[in-house]
Amino acid sequence: IAEVWLDNRLIYSQQLQPGMQAIDTRRLPSGIYNITINTLENGKVVDTQTAQVYKPLGWQNPNQKWRLNLWGGQKKDLVLSSK
């Protein structure tokens, strides 16, 4: 079992098969936050990892395969004076 913890609260658990597996993140809340993942065998924690989740609010529809983020800004040159 993989347990996903956010701020010391269990927010999701998933049954795992032996081997490498991805955790289904569709049920995790939107936002950018750090989580702790505990892997349990026979009720005991055998591995603990931390990860960052990046799920923007507009990504709720799993059928929408392509997404685009656009950031804008303006370049400014900084002039440092040694006077």
* pTM of the shown model: 0.66
Q: Which residues pair with 5 in a beta bridge?
A: 10, 36
- Cβ pair 14, 41 in contact under 8 A: no
List the domain boundaries for the chain.
2-55
pLDDT surpasses 90 at 7:
yes
pLDDT single digits (tens) 44-63: 999 999 999 988 776 666 67
CA separation for the pair 11, 30 (Å, rounded): 12
